[in-house]
Structure 1
Amino acid sequence: MKILGIDTSTKACSAALFDGNTPVCEYIINDKKTHSQKLMPIIEKMLEMSDISIEDIDAIAVSVGPGSFTGLRIGMATAKAIAHVNNIPVISVDSLETIAYNIEPTDRKICAILDAQRTHVYTANYSYDGNTLRADTEISVRDIDELLSEIGNSGDEYIIAGEAVYKYFDRISEYKNIKPASPANCISKASGVCTGALIKYEKGEEIHTCYDIAPVYIRKSQAEVQYEEKMKKLKASSEK
């Protein structure tokens, strides 16, 4: 089974190709170019280098969020388009689980974090049962200091991973039981999307068509929040 994985949930844009459990190729670009500029060219280049055509792909795996609103829409639209043209399923994997798959099996608990702005992060905790990754908490939005205090005083050993790690590195370093993952393991990678998708496919979970798959935003965008605040002020002034 050949799976094309896509992750555009963060600043990094990534695509990967797996043949069963075997990684065939992966491209990651972590620069200032927009995902709309990067995604299709790296998919085309990856398929060319792997000598595989788009018609050979059996399923698309895509990170559905949370993360960058614009990035998620670009990845989702691309996944839907390829799935529609080739009449193949789309398997959804959340972006925090994707990050957790960057970490090899360990006795430490794993805390995945992505920037949610205003000192908040998207987060979820994971742990390994042997070689099986398990989610210990639901995805939530937390204040970074509250989160670090909670896991830092939990008595458990943690690895913390994700794009937000180096934004809050100094705060994380205050806790001896929290070990930051390496920079390479803090980047969201499509290989993690493929890994999660294969497991879900075998279980018959999170398998969608191009019509019913949807992003997971968790919270409203900053533009939506600002619009609602503006409308509340306008309503209040009109009622005076």
Structure 2
Amino acid sequence: MPILAMDTATMVSSVAVADDKRLLAELIVENKLTHSETLLPNVEQVLKLAGVKREDLAAIAVSMGPGSFTGLRIGLAAAKAIAYGLNIPLVGIPTIEGLAWHYPVPGVTVAGFIDAQKGNVYTSHYCWNGSGFDEIKSIEVLSLAEAVDACVKVAGPVVAVGDMVAKKLVKLDNLPKNLIVPPKHMLMPRAANIAMAGLNRLAAGQMDNIMDMEPIYIRKSEAEVLWEKRQQALANDAAGKDAK
């Protein structure tokens, strides 16, 4: 039975349909249009290309982040709505785990470099175990330099993935000898990867609860940070007036 997969964690919008035997269809788009404009039309198109009716879907898989706050919310909202409407399982896949599926190679560590703003990256490390990926370094926010330094400490080759690789990493001098920078087409998020990871989890009997499923944000959004600063300033101002 086919699975529908979506990845909207970055500027790339990707949708795919696959089953346990093959990838049936995939769309990958990176342009100035927003995910709210492209996601559902792309879902309809990829289902048509795959020759799969919506009611024939067996499950939904979606990239859970970290990444763009808006993109994650749009992707998860769409995934939840479709899964709920069709009464089928929903599986969330961490964005960096999805990227790791580019490189299911024994002995190779995949390191994420996803833009976390202000010169920081979301990073975690994954290794292929023969049938799926194990997270060997938990996700966290580090400066780009700290994330690179974490790769130095890994024994064996490390493949860098994520949007910050093309944006910043390739411009750095003296990268660690064990850190491999792939070509751009092997850095892009792919819904096909999310589908493979989702099928792997479903085969193990794993699925998420639609009602309490949330994106992996890691840090607060800029709007939340500014709101908290504003509230603290108002509180300090009120306290100052009370003191007078």
Name the structure 1 match of 2:105.
Answer: 105
Name the structure 2 match of 1:200.
Answer: 201
Instruction: State the shift of 1:210 in Å.
Output: 3.0
| Distance (whole Å) between structure 2 residues aligned to residue 69 and residue 135 of structure 1 | 22
CA RMSD in angstroms comes to 1.6
Q: TM-score, normalising length from structure 2?
A: 0.92
| Distance (whole Å) between structure 1 residues aligned to residue 109 and residue 237 of structure 2 | 50
Q: TM-score, normalising length from structure 1?
A: 0.94
| Distance (whole Å) between structure 1 residues aligned to residue 87 and residue 159 of structure 2 | 39
| Distance (whole Å) between structure 2 residues aligned to residue 196 and residue 19 of structure 1 | 12
Q: Is the 8 A contact 1:109 1:127 kept in 2?
A: yes
Name the structure 2 match of 1:73.
Answer: 73
Q: Is the 8 A contact 1:113 1:164 kept in 2?
A: yes
Segments of 5+ residues of structure 2 without an aligned counterpart are none
- Aligned ranges 1:32-71 → 2 under 5 Å: 32-71=32-71
Instruction: State the shift of 1:102 in Å.
Output: 1.5
Q: Percent identity?
A: 33
Taking structure 1 as reference, are residues 71 and 178 closer, same or farther at Cα in structure 2, changes over 3 Å only?
same
| Distance (whole Å) between structure 2 residues aligned to residue 49 and residue 172 of structure 1 | 44
Aligned residue-pair number = 239
Name the structure 1 match of 2:114.
Answer: 114
Instruction: State the shift of 1:72 in Å.
Output: 0.7
Name the structure 1 match of 2:190.
Answer: 189
Q: Is the 8 A contact 1:161 1:186 kept in 2?
A: yes
| Distance (whole Å) between structure 2 residues aligned to residue 154 and residue 7 of structure 1 | 28
| Distance (whole Å) between structure 2 residues aligned to residue 221 and residue 3 of structure 1 | 31
DSSP 3-state at the match of 2:27 = strand
Instruction: State the shift of 1:176 in Å.
Output: 2.2
Name the structure 1 match of 2:231.
Answer: 231
Cα deviations by residue, 1:204-227 (Å, 9 ceiling, x for unpaired): 22x124323221111110110111
Instruction: State the shift of 1:197 in Å.
Output: 0.7
